[in-house]
Chains A and B, each alone.
Chain A
């Protein structure tokens, strides 16, 4: 560079910059079609259908230029074809703006498609540079994924944002792409995702609800967890905070239900793996700290025997739920979604080497001892329940 003037030096720098980067990556905000959600369905004729929910900026109210009244804030584009990548090209042909997947919040698999296996789309997702690992995977239940994308949702402008916010909250089980792939690729555990279904709201309008979990066996959908087994699943996975446990402590009385409800404050779950004489077995310990939320019984739980009785009832309830969950995953789904294999791998790596290949077949038969313990603290000492008689 010596001997060159400052001007020439600057010119050299500027030119090399031009070669290193470039305007070809430039995309103005109004030249891109923001894909908020995508959905993949299996069609009867062996084809797959890709639906994209695209945000329409003109439909968003609050800006000076566009009132956005009467205009829908989203557009759903659907294309049919053989493989996912080809489909994106087809969808692009319907749009004047470039598809942009950087803001995609959710990816929904249709139930049928998920049952047939999702490997092909996963590969596309992995290779596609636009797509981000922090979007959520959802599996549709009882509806095609496209139907879910077209379902209106009134609380948020864009339904996909609603789904994303729901998935981010503690009330639903949200699995992002990276975690799903991690579970799929790792030995000794199976992937799962949130499950979304269409329900009717009070006015009879369809809306969606994410209240279940889809359990996969390898890359295929095995079944759904809901209700009590889902609660047990969340407890084991450490997502139990804020969950409500209700147990019956006495027979239903004339004025009371005879139940006590506890609000879960924290959960410590631990899986111990044992390998004795070529047979693996597991201990599942779940310790729950909870807070008394409702006492719909005649018991005064500020008295120690009553408190112990309530704790026992809650523990039994939790034990039952955990056992039910294990039965379901072992007998019905045959999918080690809890991740017992991973624990065996950690604690007995040599044994795991031998069992690894057969683990999927072995899992339904392994014995698991469930040890739950619910501890009730903060029972509410400042006031006695209103229906209890005041002490004299």
Chain B
């Protein structure tokens, strides 16, 4: 099947001028230690953490040990490498050329040495935290890999909190993250293909999926796009998400980022593919549909009736987050006859002293709210309290008492604010709540006509979106009955199995 890559093209980064760095030239390893030393020192010029040690291996073989001391801990260096090396005894009858093969064979069980043939490999191994051993009169070097152990403790994910679910979250270290996934799915079918992106950063990226569950076309597509990333440095999965997304210009996320290993493991069963990027606790999941933004991990751990109710609540409030201020503006300024009479009178009374039109009022308060929220997120904890006081007292109460903003607007804006926090995924929450600004302008200029035009435009946009070939509004449009089990309601688990492998179903539908 041909991959459905609508927008796959070469993704170029900023510094494409630095095509080849000097060290990557096909420098070969010299058989003279002095030459190698000079070369390494030249490449790692001004790198104060570089350690170059000359020593003698048993059998009077001079050698050169090179590593970065910040990446290799003293303990592993002393006990882990020096000791086995010094107790090594070579068979002198084999000749000097066989010395290096004997060394690797002897130490294979404990140190997993590898033989490197080019200087490029050597340099890459050093920056990954390995120890490289050059030997006199050898055009090969031996590499002793040491795992970089600098990582934080496993913690509870802070962005997607649950009450009943597992408390484990991904961390920055890719190996730990892969191990976490392996713990959920004990099967060799769980494939993890490793590659590296970023010319300078050489970031490790792992493509994880369940073989025969994930559609091959999607896997192929992700691989193609990952290999096409021509970027100097890839620091976090946010870079990758944007670079391999089908619609990088749409505000709506077509790739899910999650901190929860259980969510990723559960998604594998439905045929999704995960992209794990080293250095970020957020793992990318794809393809996704629009509805992922309203499904919390908690939904699957609790009673399905309650989960269904929560989902409806989220859909309702997501709509409010998007359209409530605009509907309010449209009705009060264009269609006051639609308001119940007594409410109309209260609204009129509240507006009596307010100098601005309703649209301006709403925009002022919405922008203020967004600013407060952003300030609250970025500020250090101890200062954060100030913001809530300023927000609640100064902006809320004082603005109303001073007659600058009418009280109903404050209510509408607060409702909208709360509504936007009900959407469990941050990216979806941002996308949905950003929409209210153009909506308010439309409402203020065209009334309900503008509101419906805006909603229609958003709907049209959503229907055009694809995530790796999967229609964004699947299973509603195009309609798919088994898929509906996890959208409008969260079906009981005993019926949910019909939905498994549904990414495959989505793509089948596409082919017709």
Contacts and interface: CB of A to CB of B under 8 A. Distances in A.
Given A17-B450, A55-B345, A103-B336, A28 B445 contact: no
Given A26-B334, A28-B358, A17 B348 contact: no
B352 interface: yes
B334 A25 contact: yes
B333 interface: yes
Interface string A14-46: 000110111101111110101010000000000
Interface string A216-248: 000000000000000000000000000000000
Contact of B345 (A18, A21, A60): A60
A64 interface: yes
A103 B446 contact: no
A29 B344 CA distance: 8
Most chain B beta carbons < 10 A, residue from A26, A36, A161: A26
A105 interface: yes
A57 B348 contact: yes
Nearest to A36: B341
Contact of B349 (A18, A20, A66, A130): A66
Nearest to B444: A26
A17 B445 CA distance: 10
Given A21-B450, A64-B401, A34 B346 contact: no
Interface in B316-360: 332-334, 336-337, 341-342, 344-354, 357-358
A17 B446 contact: yes
A63 interface: yes
Contacts of A25: 334, 447
A66 B353 contact: yes
Contacts of B337: 100, 102-103, 130, 132
Given A17-B453, A100-B336, A161-B342, A29 B347 contact: yes
Contacts of A29: 332-333, 336, 344, 347-348, 351, 358
A58 interface: yes
B507 interface: no
B3 interface: no
B400 interface: yes
B403 interface: yes
B336 A32 contact: yes
B351 A30 contact: yes
B348 A30 contact: yes
B190 interface: no
Nearest to B359: A26
Contacts of B395: none
B458 to A, nearest CB: 14
Interface string A79-116: 00000000000000000000010110100000000000
Contact of A30 (B341, B346, B352, B447): B352
Of A29, A36, A55, A64, which is in contact with the most chain B CB atoms at under 10 Å from its CB?
Answer: A29
A57 B352 contact: yes
B187 to A, nearest CB: 46
Nearest to B356: A28
A158 interface: yes
Contacts of A26: 333-334, 357, 444, 447
Contact of A65 (B342, B353, B358): B353
Contact of B354 (A27, A30, A62, A102): A30
Interface string A166-194: 00000000000000000000000000000
What interface size band does chain A fall in? 35 or more
A66 B332 CA distance: 20
B346 A62 contact: yes
B479 interface: no
Interface in B161-190: none
A57 B349 contact: yes
Contact of B341 (A17, A105, A130): A105
Contacts of A23: 445
Contact of B346 (A17, A28, A32, A63): A63
B351 A28 contact: yes
Contacts of A62: 346, 349
A21 B334 CA distance: 11
A64 B351 CA distance: 11
B336 A102 contact: yes
B400 A64 contact: yes
**Most central of B334, B341, B400, B403 by chain A CB within 10 Å:** B341
B415 interface: no
A28 B358 CA distance: 7
Contacts of B357: 26, 28
Residue of B332, B348, B354, B446 most packed against chain A (CB within 10 A): B348
A161 B342 CA distance: 8
Interface in B441-475: 444-447, 449-450, 453
A57 B345 contact: yes
B247 to A, nearest CB: 13
Nearest to A25: B334
A366 B85 CA distance: 127
A103 B341 CA distance: 6
Nearest to B407: A64
A58 B333 CA distance: 19
Contact of A60 (B349, B445, B453): B349
Given A17-B450, A29-B336, A63 B341 contact: no
A222 to B, nearest CB: 32
Contacts of A130: 337
B334 A27 contact: yes
Interface string A371-382: 000000000000
A34 B353 CA distance: 17
A20 B442 CA distance: 13
A233 B342 CA distance: 32
B447 A63 contact: no
A57 B406 CA distance: 13
Contacts of B403: 65
A158 B345 CA distance: 10
A367 B495 CA distance: 71
Contacts of A65: 350, 352-353, 401, 403
A346 B492 CA distance: 57
Contacts of B449: 20-21
Contacts of A36: 341
A85 B352 CA distance: 29
12 contacts: A17-B446, A25-B447, A27-B336, A28-B333, A29-B351, A57-B345, A57-B348, A57-B352, A58-B349, A63-B352, A100-B337, A161-B342
Closest 3 CB pairs of A and B: A102-B337, A57-B349, A57-B348
Given A21-B447, A57-B351, A65-B350, 14 more contacts: A17-B453, A18-B445, A21-B446, A21-B450, A25-B447, A26-B447, A34-B344, A57-B352, A65-B353, A65-B401, A65-B403, A66-B352, A132-B337, A161-B342
